[in-house]
Amino acid sequence: MVDDNNLNDLDTLPNFNSEKELIPSLLEELFPICRSITGNGVRKSLDILNTISEFVISEIPSGTKCFDWEVPNEWNIDDAFVKDSTGKKIIDFKKNNLHVVSYSIPVNKILKFDELESHLHTNSHIPDSIPYRTSYYNKTWGFCLSQKLFDKMNKNDNFHVVIDSSLSPGSLTYGEYLIEGKSKSEFIISTYCCHPSLANDNLSGMILWILLLKYMKKKKTKFSYRFLIIPETIGAIAYLSKNEKDIHNVCGGFILTCVGGPSNFSYKSTFYGNHIIDHTVENTLSSLAIPFKKIPFSPRGSDERQFSSPGFRIPIGILCKDKFHEYDSYHTSQDNLKFISMENILQSLSAYIQIINNLEKLDEFDLNNIHENVNKNSKFPIFKSTNPKCEPMLSKRGLYPSIGGSLKHSKSIFQSMLENEENLDLLLNTLFFSDGQMSIEQIALKSNLPEEKLYECSNELVKLNLMEKIV
Ligand code: ZN
């Protein structure tokens, strides 16, 4: 017998008939919308999702301080193009919103190719594709185009460049819904809504989020579930800053992202690596004979970087299909509706429902019984981040690539010391794990990075007041 009000029953998996009707129309409606970390694209997207299952939509005004960050001005865009001297539009935002670097300032100029070139971004690895790039905190503008189109451009021509955008005080929009269970212990189920026309990363996550919310609302649960749909990074930071007092019952969670592609599942573990969430996910998938690849935690990723930062330490797991950074079309126009499928999103929905079914069988004690190996007598140095709540804002200190989307463009991190992608790893790992308890030796084990390098990086961060030495 199916008891529809009891999550503790694997037989309650539905036939997904209503989801099968909803997914194609949601994909079609949401894919073309130009979303960013703020603006009308996010509002429109959340309004559409809100018709499927209601949640609370809130706004945080521009300029609001959130730990080391500030909510930026709101960005909106109506049009953008590049015309050649014959008046032909060779790049047209209206054909694909990835053509404009997200958060581009307005521009209307005639430029020689040489003047335009530094504002053009391509991905030579997939010469047919348009890359996705952002510049949220560095005021600039840019166009993204295929390498093939770039190669064809007449380098002796003049180009009319227009970006009809606005950057002005407004707000950051996010959505939230708390499913209250019998217990106050909560799990966060979060996704991000800031990517424009990219299907796996992360329209698939947004759709899974609303379907899971709709499903869970019908259930009586033991634990509580806090559903969040927020712009990545700044949204998580702003949310945690605003709701710091309300999240003390959160004992773990998941980020829903990249859940629609064709690959087998990948599971990125929590920063503990052996938390009950990790065991539950792995045991669930194994018991269902679902193949998956296990990916160790790294502070490169999504909003687990904020939720799990030293000041919060909320363990977050991520079950993906084609995981971010790991598929060829990641952050390109080839991450489109052809790359993902309804069946893959339904597989992810089914897996998450069964994982939650198994979480519901846990005792409170299991959730809160965390043993960290704190080595108070370590002979190795111990450092502590001076900004433990979420990441410190690296870009305002010149410590992060100015054009986001591709970390391959990393530059000028500590000038001589940190100048490539590996060193960005070093910086992020040092900041993430230095909580005043873990020694350099333990961080080296967790991050797989050499102790000397971590020590050197920590000392550089001390000079920048981002770290203090405890022992
Ligand atoms: Zn992304």
Give φ, ψ of 351 to 5 degrees: -65, -45
Write the single-letter amino acid at 63: G
Distance 98 CA to ligand 1 centre (A): 12
Q: Quick one: pLDDT at residue 1?
A: 41
pLDDT tens digits for range 389-444? 999 998 888 887 766 665 433 333 454 444 567 788 899 999 999 999 999 999 99
Distance 331 CA to ligand 1 centre (A): 6
Residues 315-344 have a mean pLDDT of 95
Task: Please indicate whether residue 174 or residue 411 has the higher confidence score (pLDDT).
Answer: 174
Chain segment 94-140, per-residue pLDDT in tens: 999 999 999 999 999 999 999 999 999 999 999 999 999 999 999 99
How distant is the alpha carbon of residue 469 from its chain centre? 30
Distance of CA 401 from the midpoint of ligand 1 (Å): 15
What is the whole-number distance in angstroms between the Cα of residue 233 and the centre of ligand 1?
Answer: 11
Q: Which pLDDT score, from 0 to 100, does residue 406 have?
A: 56
> Ligand 1 centre and the CA of 269: distance in Å?
18
pLDDT surpassing 90 at residue 376: no
Indicate the pTM of the whole model.
0.93
Q: What average pLDDT score do residues 343-370 get?
A: 91
350 C-alpha to ligand 1 centroid (Å): 23
> Coil, strand, or helix at residue 134?
strand
Residue 381 burial (CB count, 10 A): 17
* CA 235 – ligand 1 centroid, Å: 14
How far, in Å, from the CA of 330 to the mean position of ligand 1? 8
Distance from the alpha carbon of residue 236 to the mean position of ligand 1, in angstroms: 14
Backbone angles phi, psi at 98, to 5 degrees: -70, -15
Residue 421 Cα to ligand 1 midpoint, Å, equals 17
pLDDT digits (tens, 9 = 90+) for 70-85: 999 999 999 999 999 9
**C-beta of residue 198 within 8 angstroms of C-beta of residue 335:** yes
CA atoms within 13 A on the CB side of 433: 35
CA of 207 to the centre of ligand 1 (A): 15
With cut-offs at 50, 70 and 90, classify the pLDDT of residue 12.
low
DSSP state, 401? -
Residue 60 has a pLDDT of 98
d(CA 133, CA 118): 14
Closest to 440 measured CA to CA, from 370, 372, 371, 375: 375
With b for 16 or more beta-carbon neighbours within 10 A and e for fewer, the 234-259 pattern comes to bbbbbbbbeeeeeeeebbbbbbbbbb
CA 430 to CA 447: how far, in whole Å? 9
* Better pLDDT: 367 or 337: 337
What pLDDT sits at residue 365?
78
Computed over every residue of the chain, the mean pLDDT equals 92
Question: What is the number of alpha carbons within 13 Å of residue 250 lying toward its C-beta?
Answer: 26
2 CA from centroid of ligand 1 (Å)? 39
Distance (Å) from CA 325 to ligand 1 centroid: 8
- Compute the distance from residue 405 Cα to the ligand 1 centre, in Å: 7
Q: How far is the CA of 332 from the centre of ligand 1 (A)?
A: 10
Spell out where 84-131 has E strands.
89-92, 107-112, 120-121
Q: What is the reported pLDDT for 153? A: 98
In single-letter form, the type of residue at position 100 comes to V
Ligand 1 centre to CA of 202 (Å) is: 7
The strand pairing partners of 50, in sequence order, are none
In this prediction, residue 181 has a pLDDT band, given cuts at 50, 70 and 90, of very high
Please report the pLDDT score of residue 405 as a whole number: 65
